[in-house]
Amino acid sequence: MSPSAHASSTVNPIQWRDDRLVLLDQRLLPGAEIHVDCATSAAVVTAIRDMVVRGAPAIGIAGAYGMVLAAREAWQRVGPAWRSDWQDAVTALREARPTAINLAWAVDRLVLAAQTLDGDPGLPLLVLAQQLHAEDLAANHRMGQLGAALIAPGSTVMTHCNAGALATAGHGTALGVIRDAHAAGRIERVFATETRPWLQGARLTSWELSREGIPVTLITDGSAAHVMRAEAVAWLIVGADRVAANGDVANKIGTYGLAIAARAHGARVMVVAPLSTFDPATPDGSAIHIEERAGEEITTIGGQRYAPAGVTAYNPVFDVTPAALIDVLVTEAGVIERPDRARIAALQAAR
C-alpha cells in the first residue's frame, strides 16, 4: 500500500451539497468548525475575497462551483441567452483574488466548456466542476508520493503558511508531501511558521498536523533562520499560488525570505504545486500581480488596534521566490530539479 493511502487527511474543506457549495470557514479555525453555505455565485465571490476559503487549488475549485451557480442563475433569468447574461458573474469570480492562477484557470475551463452546451448548463458544468475537484485530490496524492521520496529518513523540515487539505481538495500540496513522508518514516519533526498576519501556520497547519499525530512545532516567522541553523532543517517545503514560465514562484508573503535563509543554511527548497498553478503566459516573477490587502490586517489583532493611531501599513500578501533559489518543483506529472524555462516547458510538452 502506498504511503498516501495511510496518510489521507480527514479534513474536507469543500463540498457540493443540496445544490450549493459548502465551505469550511477557515477564518474560525481552530476555535470552531463552522461551514458556510454558498447558494449564489455572489456568495462564492464573497467567500473567496473574505478568505472563508483560501489556498490556490481550493480557491480554484470554489470558483468552478461558483461558475455552476452563475450559469444556473443566468439560465433561470433568461433561458437560452444565458451565456451573455452570465458575463458579469464570470468576471467577478475570475477577479475575486488576482494572484492565485488556479482561480482564473478553473473559470476559463468552465467558460470554454460552456461554449458548446445546448439547453440548461447546470448539470454538465457541475459534472466538470466535480471532475476538477477529483483531479486535484488525485494530483495531491501523486505529488505527496513524489515529494516524499526525495526526503531522507529521519529528516526535520519546515513549512510556511498552509498548503494542506484546507488549501486544496484534500490531502494538500506541501502538507501532502509531509503527510506521506511522515507515514513512511522519513520525517521526524516539522517546524511550522506562524505566518503573519492571518496566522495560517499557527491556526491551520498546526491544527491539521496535530490532529493527525504528526509532530509539529510552531515558531515565529522571525525565528525561522535561527531554527534552520540550530535544528539542522533539511527541507523548506511550501506550496505556490502561481508558477511563472521561468520557474519563479509566487507564494505567501515570507516565502522569499525563507528561501534565502534556506540557501544560507544548507536546507533545500521544495515547491509543491499542481500543473493548474503553472502559468505559461507569465514570463517571470516580475509579471505576477501581487495582491495587497487592507493595512488593518497588520495594525490590529482580533479587532484591537495595537499600532499607534495614524501609522500606515503596507500589506502585500504574496512575494516571489526566484527559480534560482528552488531546488525542486514537485508536480503531479513529475519532479523538476533546478527549475527553469526549458525544464518546465519540457514537462508541460510531455504532459
Give residue 303's pLDDT.
Answer: 84
175: nearest Cα among 9, 51, 6: 9
Contacting residues for 62 by C-beta, under 8 A, at least 6 apart:
14, 21, 23, 38, 44, 47, 48, 53
pLDDT at 3 over 50: no
Please tell me whether residues 165 and 73 are part of one structural domain.
Answer: no
147: nearest Cα among 328, 297, 284, 299: 328
| Domain termination residue (choose one: 103, 138, 173) | 138
Contact 329, 243 (CB under 8 A): yes
Rounded CA-CA distance 207/177 in Å is 17
**CA 251 to chain CA mean position, Å:** 9
| Domain termination residue (choose one: 113, 138, 163) | 138
Query: Which DSSP state fits 292?
Result: B
Give residue 188's pLDDT.
Answer: 95
What's the grid cell of residue 213? 499525530
pLDDT at 89 over 70: yes
Beta strands 268-272 and 328-331 are parallel
pLDDT, tens digit, 9 for 90 and up, residues 187-236:
999 999 999 999 999 999 999 999 999 999 999 999 999 999 999 999 99
Please tell me whether residues 133 and 38 are part of one structural domain.
Answer: yes
| Number of domains within the chain | 2
Mean pLDDT of 80-108: 94
Mean pLDDT of 144-173: 96
Rounded CA-CA distance 194/224 in Å is 10
pLDDT at 6 over 60: no
| Residue spans of alpha helices (H) in the chain | 3-7, 41-49, 56-78, 82-85, 87-94, 101-114, 122-148, 174-183, 200, 206-211, 224-230, 255-265, 296-299, 341-350
Rounded CA-CA distance 99/53 in Å is 15
Q: Using the Cα atoms of residue 168, residue 171, residue 175 and residue 176 in order, give the sign of their dihedral.
A: negative
Q: Is 241 a catalytic residue?
A: yes
Please tell me whether residues 163 and 84 are part of one structural domain.
Answer: no
Instruction: Evaluate the omega torsion of the peptide bond into residue 197 and state whether it is cis, within 30 degrees of 0.
Output: yes
Tell me the C-alpha to C-alpha distance, in Å, between residue 166 and each of 54, 89, 294.
Answer: 8, 25, 23
Instruction: Indicate the pLDDT class of residue 2, thresholds 50, 70 and 90.
Output: very low
The pTM (predicted TM-score) of the whole model is 0.90
Could you tell me the residue range of the domain that residue 8 belongs to? 3-138
Give residue 9's pLDDT.
Answer: 66
Residue with cell 457549495: 21
Please tell me whether residues 152 and 289 are part of one structural domain.
Answer: yes
pLDDT at 92 over 90: yes
> Which of helix, strand or coil describes residue 161?
coil
pLDDT at 5 over 60: no
Please tell me whether residues 179 and 112 are part of one structural domain.
Answer: no
Residue with cell 496566522: 199
Rounded CA-CA distance 147/105 in Å is 24
Ramachandran category for residue 340: left, alpha or beta (phi over 0 → left; psi -120 to 50 → alpha): beta
Please tell me whether residues 106 and 222 are part of one structural domain.
Answer: no
pLDDT, tens digit, 9 for 90 and up, residues 268-313:
999 999 999 999 999 999 999 999 999 999 999 878 999 999 999 9
Mean pLDDT of 72-77: 97
Instruction: Quote the mean pLDDT of the chain.
Output: 94
- Residue 118: give its domain's CATH number: 1.20.120.420
Instruction: Indicate the pLDDT class of residue 350, thresholds 50, 70 and 90.
Output: confident
Please tell me whether residues 123 and 233 are part of one structural domain.
Answer: no
Instruction: Indicate the pLDDT class of residue 99, thresholds 50, 70 and 90.
Output: confident
Question: Which H or E run includes 218?
Answer: strand 216-219
Give residue 7's pLDDT.
Answer: 58
3: nearest Cα among 165, 172, 183, 154: 183
Residue of 180, 241, 248, 319 marked active site? 241
Number of H helices, E strands in the chain: 14, 16
Contacting residues for 196 by C-beta, under 8 A, at least 6 apart:
221, 254, 298
160: nearest Cα among 231, 226, 255: 255
Please tell me whether residues 61 and 161 are part of one structural domain.
Answer: no
| Domain termination residue (choose one: 95, 111, 138) | 138
Give residue 98's pLDDT.
Answer: 86
Please tell me whether residues 147 and 257 are part of one structural domain.
Answer: yes
> Which of helix, strand or coil describes residue 25?
coil
Instruction: Indicate the pLDDT class of residue 10, thresholds 50, 70 and 90.
Output: confident
- Residue 209: give its domain's CATH number: 3.40.50.10470
Give residue 240's pLDDT.
Answer: 96
Mean pLDDT of 54-72: 96
Mean pLDDT of 233-262: 97
pLDDT, tens digit, 9 for 90 and up, residues 115-139:
999 999 999 999 999 999 999 999 9
pLDDT at 4 over 50: no
